[in-house]
Structure 1
Amino acid sequence: MMAATDALAGVLTQMTGPWPVSAAARELAAAGVPVFPCVPGGKRPLTEHGFHDATTDPGQVEAWWRTHPDANLAVPTGATSGMVVVDVDVHAPTDGYEAFERAYRAGLVSRWAFLVSTPSGGMHAYYPATPDRAQRSWQAARPGVDFRGDGGYILLPPSMVSTNGATVGYRVRQINTGPSATLDSDRLRDFLDPRPTPPPTTSDDVQRSADVSRLATWVAARGEGERNRGLFWAACRLAENGVPAPDALDVLTAAASQSGLGEREITTTVRSAYRTTQPQARPSSTVQGSPRAADGWFARDATVRTSAPGRRLS
């Protein structure tokens, strides 16, 4: 598992100048990192089964980018690739950098392998996946930090996406030259977004849990042309049954990703369903940019550099 982040960091380190996405895809596949293409300028997979089609086969990788030379580059997260990602985002009025810094000072996210700046002003922090342990993807909307593990995927440099009328690329901002370490994703979630202890389980709770599981399976099986509509319908059912919006996102993100939808599209659809079903809920809107964290360690204007684990990051 450690080798995956090392291999990815090694390839990214070579990107000292402009690289074609196809060249990065070939290098990553040759290093043993499974890859797949997404739409040019976006995050939606171009493959029939989304991130499930990721491969290291050089012939398939060559064929994908010969057919779609401007395609973006993505890798699955979790056990499939051996790497997981903490996604720091910026939503008004929440600044994910502040939450990430709190977690850093608590020793929960300190030993990352490398950091990538995202087009929206956020940041991706990469870690080795924990061997022989499931690490499910989750979203913590209030602190502005998400986790990409099993059931997720991520775009890599030098991919470009269109945001606010401009095309902006992912870029490597910092590579850890010392050893990285696995991440306790459950502990991180409890730290960032603590939840009350649930009451004792009743037979109704067990039935609702089974119904939610069947609903997620149904969403994952939707084909092209019915994915968005099916996701919206499922989210409305969860809202009607009193499932909190963050829990609905947790359940439906992994399921809808399997059907080929991108995370932002999933989030928008689920929130729209909750606004329709529960009009009193008013989720915050996304804005570009972020104030610096308290001491600027993870400010979005950081430059690319390397760092040993025990040294300050700026």
Structure 2
Amino acid sequence: MAEHGAVSSVLLRMSGAWPLSAAAREFAAAGVPVFPCAPWGKRPATEHGFHDATTNLDQIEAWWRQSPGANIGVPTGAASGTVVVDVDVHGPVDGRTSFDRAHRAGLVDGWELLVRTPTGGLHAYYPARPGTEQRSWQAGRAGIDFRGDGGYIIVPPSTRSIEGTTVGYRVEEVNTGRTGLLDSDALRDFLDPRPAPRPRPKTWRPVGREDAQRLAAWLDRQDTDRNLKLFWASCRLAEGGVPLTDALDAVLTAAKSDFGPREITATVRSAYRTVRGEPARRDPSSSSVLGESRLAADGWFSRDPARPSTGPSSVRGL
């Protein structure tokens, strides 16, 4: 017979007539940590769920003495040495079709056991990859979940109450051939492929016209030092790659009547020249020398706004 891990080995020698408490002790004796779940359900019955799983026989006896009908939960992944492909059958979603597709693609071979779940689904048991974390994931549209590190399963001889009928988990098929490791990442990519990253268009830039428009609207709300703030904001737009024409159009559109287009144009152009490494020049329509203004008194800027930074900055409130 093929080699099986600890969880599968216990299930193979277990009788459906075993009390749940005896089965829980058998798992623990084989080195498989267990924890109690609600009778006829799947919800953990301990405060920390699968994190409370243990092989301590005294604790296990105490749990099942308190609740003899508690179902048996087993953490998946490195904790138990077992990972599981959970095939769901719920309403219009039938994971069996997806599992068959994956089987034809050679992605789910090597399982140790197939366990029939009370809802008509399937648990396929595989050995966990030694020394490798295999995180749990869900592919809802495919009806397949993967139970690895960070997950758990309910194991036989646990039972569920389905529409008033008690139905048990039961081993349906045993692999007597070759078992093997599951490539859970390849299976997820097959069942739920991620869209390929869209290439950035050649015209992409980190900021754009809408940023210029938002800055323009902010500038229009300022009552003091507006020329200084316009220069600083224009430097940020230039650093971000916004074309000069976009910056001018946005600011001129939002400008107040007392902030004339000639002054605006001169200030924006001066900022763009400064960012590109050209020396700042005195704007004849302004009373200040662009590039030499002091920090605005209202504290909106973290540094001298007239000195363009070597990297992007942000304006509070934008």
Residue type of the partner of 2:129? T
- Given that 1:138 and 1:146 are in contact with CA atoms closer than 8 Å, whether structure 2 keeps it comes out as yes
- Given that 2:138 and 2:144 are in contact with CA atoms closer than 8 Å, whether structure 1 keeps it comes out as yes
Please state how far the C-alpha of 1:7 moved relative to its aligned partner. 2.0
- Given that 1:87 and 1:122 are in contact with CA atoms closer than 8 Å, whether structure 2 keeps it comes out as yes
Normalising by the residue count of structure 1, what TM-score does the alignment of the two structures yield? 0.61
Mapping of residues 68-147 of structure 1, within 5 Å: 68-147=67-146
Match of 1:182 in 2: 181
How many aligned positions are there?
202
| 2:58 equivalent to 1:59 | yes
| 2:43 equivalent to 1:44 | yes
Give SS of 1:62's match. helix
- Given that 2:7 and 2:80 are in contact with CA atoms closer than 8 Å, whether structure 1 keeps it comes out as no
* Structure (1 or 2) with the larger CA radius of gyration: 2
Please state how far the C-alpha of 1:199 moved relative to its aligned partner. 4.6
Distance 1:75 1:91 in 2: 23
Residue type of the partner of 2:48? H
Give SS of 1:34's match. coil
- Given that 2:115 and 2:123 are in contact with CA atoms closer than 8 Å, whether structure 1 keeps it comes out as yes
Normalising by the residue count of structure 2, what TM-score does the alignment of the two structures yield? 0.60
Distance 1:117 1:85 in 2: 12
Please state how far the C-alpha of 1:50 moved relative to its aligned partner. 0.6
Distance 2:22 2:182 in 1: 30
Residue type of the partner of 1:171? R
| 2:206 equivalent to 1:197 | no
Distance 1:16 1:60 in 2: 23
Please state how far the C-alpha of 1:200 moved relative to its aligned partner. 7.4
Residue type of the partner of 2:75? P
C-alpha distance after superposition, 1:88-117 (max 9, x if no partner): 011332211111011111111110011100
Match of 2:280 in 1: none
| 2:31 equivalent to 1:32 | yes
CA gap of 1:146–1:17, structure 2 versus 1, over 3 A, is closer
Any unmatched runs of 5+ in structure 2? 207-318
C-alpha distance after superposition, 1:263-286 (max 9, x if no partner): xxxxxxxxxxxxxxxxxxxxxxxx
Residue type of the partner of 2:106? G
| Displaced runs of 4 or more, over 4 A | 199-203
Residue type of the partner of 2:100? E
Please state how far the C-alpha of 1:30 moved relative to its aligned partner. 0.2
Residue type of the partner of 2:123? H
Distance 2:13 2:161 in 1: 25
CA gap of 1:18–1:51, structure 2 versus 1, over 3 A, is same
Please state how far the C-alpha of 1:177 moved relative to its aligned partner. 2.5
Distance 1:102 1:30 in 2: 38
Distance 1:78 1:200 in 2: 36
Residue type of the partner of 1:190? D
Mapping of residues 1-314 of structure 1, within 5 Å: 5-199=4-198
Any unmatched runs of 5+ in structure 1? 204-314
Please state how far the C-alpha of 1:17 moved relative to its aligned partner. 4.0
C-alpha distance after superposition, 1:158-204 (max 9, x if no partner): 1011122222110011112234211111100111111202357999x
Question: Which structure is richer in relative contact order (CA contacts within 8 A, separation 6 or more)?
Answer: 1
Match of 2:285 in 1: none
Distance 1:45 1:17 in 2: 22
Distance 2:27 2:191 in 1: 32
Match of 2:286 in 1: none
Please state how far the C-alpha of 1:54 moved relative to its aligned partner. 0.5
Distance 2:26 2:81 in 1: 17
Distance 2:84 2:95 in 1: 14
- Given that 1:9 and 1:175 are in contact with CA atoms closer than 8 Å, whether structure 2 keeps it comes out as no
Give SS of 1:119's match. coil
C-alpha distance after superposition, 1:17-73 (max 9, x if no partner): 411111110111001111110011111111121100101111111111111111000
- Given that 2:6 and 2:81 are in contact with CA atoms closer than 8 Å, whether structure 1 keeps it comes out as no
Distance 1:52 1:162 in 2: 25
- Given that 1:127 and 1:182 are in contact with CA atoms closer than 8 Å, whether structure 2 keeps it comes out as yes
Distance 1:122 1:17 in 2: 19
Give SS of 1:142's match. helix
Identity percentage of aligned residues: 66
Please state how far the C-alpha of 1:127 moved relative to its aligned partner. 0.5
